[in-house]
Amino acid sequence: MTAIDTNDWRIALVGTPNSGKTALFNALTGSRQKVANYAGVTVERKSGFLQTISGHRVNLIDLPGTYSLRGRSPDEEIARDVILGKFASEAPPDFLLCVADATNLRVALRLVIELKRVHRPMLLVLNMIDIARRRGVDIDLDKLSAELGVPVVTSTAVRRAGIEDLLRRIDDIAGKPAAAIAASEWTAPAASDLRAAQREADRVIRAAVSEPAKPDTWTTRVDAVLLHPVWGMIALLALLFVMFQAVFAWAQPVMDLITAGFDALGAWTATVLPEGLLQSFVQNGVISGVGSVIVFLPQILVLFLFILLLEDFGYMARAAFLMDRIMGGAGLHGRAFIPLLSSFACAIPGIMATRVIDNKRDRLTTIMVAPLMTCSARIPVYTLIIAAFVPDKPVLGFLGLQGLVMFGLYAVGIFSALAVSFVANHFFWRESATPPFMLELPDYKLPQLRSVLMNLYQRAMAFLKRAGTTIFSMMVLIWFLASFPRPPVGATEPAIDFSLAAIIGHWIEPLLAPIGFNWQISVALIPGMAAREVAVASLGTVYAIEGGKEAVEQVGHALADKWSLATALAFLAWYVFAPQCASTLAVIKRETGGWRWMWITFFYMLSMAYIAALITYHAALALGLG
Amino acid sequence: MVHLNPMPTLTTTMTDIANSAPDESVRAPRAVPLGLARHGFQGRVDAIVVDGDRLGVSAAEIERRLLELGIVEGAAVHILHEGPIGRDPIAVRVNGTTIALRRREAMAILVV
Ligand SMILES: Nc1nc2c(ncn2[C@@H]2O[C@H](COP(=O)(O)OP(=O)(O)O)[C@@H](O)[C@H]2O)c(=O)[nH]1
Ligand SMILES: [Mg+2]
């Protein structure tokens, strides 16, 4: 990041959601911000730098999409505050780069007409011109520019087409000696202003644009199936199901490879390192601990691949459409669906994405239930236990039992999120009605291979970085606890029984014994508060040290030997609910502006985890699975 | 292609106020709420009349939100899809863009 220089031209990207502002930001600044085909991807302001052709430096600001400057929800407020210069330490931008989707000009031009009242130099970019041309939309740029009173250029942001022309125009406009810029005359438009602006926009479109007779037939045909009342729901379920099957099936070969790699590495360290503390640290702490988490990288990437493809294709808004009544029945805001779906990847972007929700209570409810959605950090926990305890056999001939159990765990997460929001709405907020829901369904687009791969790469790096920092440091801690103090000379019990880990574990165990957790689980849960996967790594280390030299086996095998099925099921139930992610809690605190909602979320999730594990454990015991 | 539910609840609309002629037959085709129209309905927006506040969102605000999505008087509308439960929400094509909204909000959009 370069520091901002007062000589820089400050240019803000503004436009309706999903018009390609972020794609253009990336093309202009070489950044890699997230682009996807639904409204509400960008919920923060992002700053980047670029050079115009004349060599002037520009500070470009990417903003959340907005339909007007009224600031109806927290993300729209950010756009408004930047454009109107309401941020305390900031002047308004020197220049507005308005981005419009060339295939969807009506709403975009109405916004441009509203923005003219801000009295900043403006340039209108008709983005997605490739799609418009393909569909036969004919736009007379000179006429459009004359009618609107704003210069107009075209671009295809995802292919970096039109960028040079755009840079030249920025030079032309921003380079002019600043004629005294009038102060903003913008005031929140009333209904009559909006009607007048839309009429004006429609007039401009009639004068400058000739649309083809038929709309995008591709989208219409795909939607005939995907939004069909029956087929659409079947498709949604099938999609989720294939996704979970794929997480198991596709990732397995690569996981086997990684496991083999770590096994080889373990064997190799045994030959080069002298027996002793160092060897134990590398084998038990690093390889059995951190390695047991890294093995899950392929599964996490398969999940992300699915989510990214769906996002880029334009399916997210459709899923929100199909689920709206079910969500509304639980008192969730119609726009809550996309944040909750994003939480499948990770609750943190999911919680940030709730900024698109205008109603404060609805936003709080969504934030509170977002961590219940099964995030990718639970995958290591779930698959470890499933692989160790659930046989890999087909059900009904074609479904895998393991995938089915995984699907069930996801379903439990979803249903409990709905149940919690139902309770919150009916008993705490005492509201039964649901607020308005209006959402644009964007046309489908073929996913951009480059952007999908880029995103996957970023995910993989973020995961490895976590493994190298958070998880590694927790492993150092747990290895230390499990190794010291050393057993007295001549002791016959396993060395770990004398360690701090055992002491702490035994100390907590009475609290967790009713839910079937042994001391090893109890102690693994402590570093596990930092992040969910850490518990897997901790168990890996504890069992590796406990097993001694001959047990350089995978943690899954150790668990299958040492846990009862009832304990394993209780552990799964615990992980559906447990608030074991420090970063999520920190984001809740930040997004809600205080400790209160963070603690409420923490305690309700903890109580649910305990109760769910308690019920599961005793039900399993009653069924004779002890 | 116009399928409509019976709409006994529909009372006073903008057109009713404008045309106070008592004789039904001399009126322009009567405006009906989009919220009652079925899959396949095609028509034009005649007026936007929000009948009340909704959960901290005022009627005026709902009107503005509809307008901001391009749903203004004269816009062509076409119901493309209905949701799986209770035919709600609906996906409406408005002059070239598709918008999902609940039938309750669509009650404010009077169409002919
Ligand atoms: N074909 C095409 N797709 C584009 C173009 N610009 C953006 N997109 C796609 O449009 C969608 C929205 O882009 P994004 O930058 O996230 O929009 P934002 O919400 O305005 O920031 C993404 O799926 C992009 O891949 C373009 O010029 N041509
Ligand atoms: Mg964006």
The answer on pLDDT for A608 being more than 70 is yes
Domain-located, residue B44: yes
* Least confident piece of the model among A157-161, A238-242, B3-7: B3-7
- Which of A18, A338, A451 is the best mutation target for the ligand 1 pocket, counting ligand atoms within 8 Å of the beta carbon and taking the most? A18
Q: Kindly report the nearest CA distance between residue B17 and chain A, in angstroms.
A: 19
Model confidence at A281, pLDDT cuts 50, 70, 90, reads confident
The answer on pLDDT for B28 being more than 80 is no
To test the contact with chain B by mutation, choose from A321, A335, A358 the residue with the greatest count of B C-beta atoms within 10 A, namely A321
The answer on pLDDT for A327 being more than 90 is no
Collect residues with CB below 5 Å from ion ligand 2.
Answer: A 21-22, 41-42
How far does the centroid of ligand 2 lie from the alpha carbon of residue A44, in Å? 9
Q: What fold, for A9-214?
A: Rossmann fold (3.40.50)
How far does the centroid of ligand 2 lie from the alpha carbon of residue A517, in Å? 45
pLDDT score, position B53: 67
Residues of A in contact with B14 (CB under 8 A): none
What percent of chain A is predicted at pLDDT more than 70? 95
Higher pLDDT, A398 or A580: A580
Domain-located, residue B11: no
Domain boundaries along the sequence of chain A: 9-214, 231-376+404-434+451-465, 481-622
Model confidence at B8, pLDDT cuts 50, 70, 90, reads very low
CB nearest B99 (choices: A228, A229, A440): A440
Q: Structural domain of residue B101, as residue ranges?
A: 30-111
DSSP H or E stretch at residue A237 = helix A231-249
A60 to A25, A156, A226, A600: CA distances (angstroms):
7, 18, 38, 39
Higher pLDDT, A227 or A482: A227
The answer on pLDDT for A326 being more than 90 is no
The answer on pLDDT for A153 being more than 90 is yes
CB nearest B55 (choices: A228, A325, A359): A359
Q: Which amino acid is at A69?
A: L
Model confidence at A2, pLDDT cuts 50, 70, 90, reads low
pLDDT score, position A60: 94
Check CB contact under 8 Å for B96 and A215: yes
Chain A: residue nearest B85 by CA?
A325
Q: What is the DSSP string of A16-67?
A: STTSSHHHHHHHHH-------SSTTS--S-EEEEEE-TT--EEEEEE----S
Complex ipTM value: 0.83
Nearest Cα residue to A534 out of A373, A380, A371, A348: A380
Residues of B in contact with A128 (CB under 8 A): none
The answer on pLDDT for B40 being more than 70 is yes
Q: What is the DSSP string of A497-512?
A: GGSHHHHHHHHHHHHH
Tens digits of residue pLDDT in A33-62: 888 888 888 889 999 999 988 888 999 999
Pairing status of strand A9-15 against strand A57-62: parallel
Check CB contact under 8 Å for B56 and A435: yes
Number of H helices, E strands in chain B: 3, 6
pLDDT score, position A276: 80
Higher pLDDT, A278 or A23: A23
Nearest Cα residue to B102 out of B81, B88, B92: B88
Tens digits of residue pLDDT in A209-225: 988 766 667 898 999 99
* Least confident piece of the model among A3-7, A336-340, A362-366: A3-7
How far does the centroid of ligand 2 lie from the alpha carbon of residue A442, in Å? 14
Residue with tokens 């755009």: A166
pLDDT score, position A3: 58
pLDDT score, position A5: 65
Helix runs in A354-400, H state only: 360-369, 378-389
Ligand number with the minimum distance to the CA of A447: 1
pLDDT score, position B22: 43
Most confident stretch, A237-241, A404-408, B100-104: B100-104
Q: Is A128 in the pocket of ligand 1 (CB under 6 A)?
A: yes
CATH code: domain of residue B67:
2.30.30.90
The answer on pLDDT for B24 being more than 80 is no
pLDDT score, position A328: 82
Q: Taking the CA atoms of A254, A406, A397 and A392 in sequence, report the sign of the dihedral they define.
A: positive
Nearest CA to ligand 1 atom 6: A20
Tell me the whole-structure pTM to 2 decimals.
0.85
Q: Is A562 in the pocket of ligand 1 (CB under 6 A)?
A: no
The answer on pLDDT for A479 being more than 80 is yes
Report the C-alpha gap between A539 and A206 in whole angstroms.
Answer: 67
Tens digits of residue pLDDT in A432-476: 556 678 899 999 999 988 889 998 999 899 888 888 888 888 888
Chain B: residue nearest A444 by CA?
B98
The answer on pLDDT for A89 being more than 80 is no
Domain-located, residue B59: yes
Q: Kindly report the nearest CA distance between residue B3 and chain A, in angstroms.
A: 18
Q: Is A137 on the interface with B (CB under 8 A)?
A: no
Higher pLDDT, A477 or A432: A477
Model confidence at B19, pLDDT cuts 50, 70, 90, reads very low
Q: Among residues 499-558 of chain A, which lie with CB inside 8 Å of chain B?
A: none
To test the contact with chain A by mutation, choose from B39, B50, B67, B92 the residue with the greatest count of A C-beta atoms within 10 A, namely B67
Across chain A, mean pLDDT equals 87
pLDDT score, position A430: 66
Check CB contact under 8 Å for A229 and B98: no
Model confidence at A531, pLDDT cuts 50, 70, 90, reads confident
Tens digits of residue pLDDT in A348-361: 989 998 998 888 88
Chain B residues touching chain A at CB-CB below 8 Å:
54-57, 60, 62-70, 72-74, 80-89, 91, 93, 95-102, 104-105
pLDDT score, position A180: 61
Tens digits of residue pLDDT in A182-202: 778 888 899 999 999 999 999
Domain count, chain B: 1
What percent of chain A is predicted at pLDDT more than 90? 42
Q: Is A312 in the pocket of ligand 1 (CB under 6 A)?
A: yes
Q: Is A56 in the pocket of ligand 1 (CB under 6 A)?
A: no
Residue A552 tokens read as: 């350089």
Vertex A411, ends A406 and A413: CA angle to 5°? 100
Model confidence at B10, pLDDT cuts 50, 70, 90, reads very low
Q: Average pLDDT, stretch B34-56?
A: 86
Domain-located, residue B19: no
Say if residue A84 is exposed, middle or buried (CB neighbours under 10 Å; 0-12, 13-18, 19+). Answer: middle
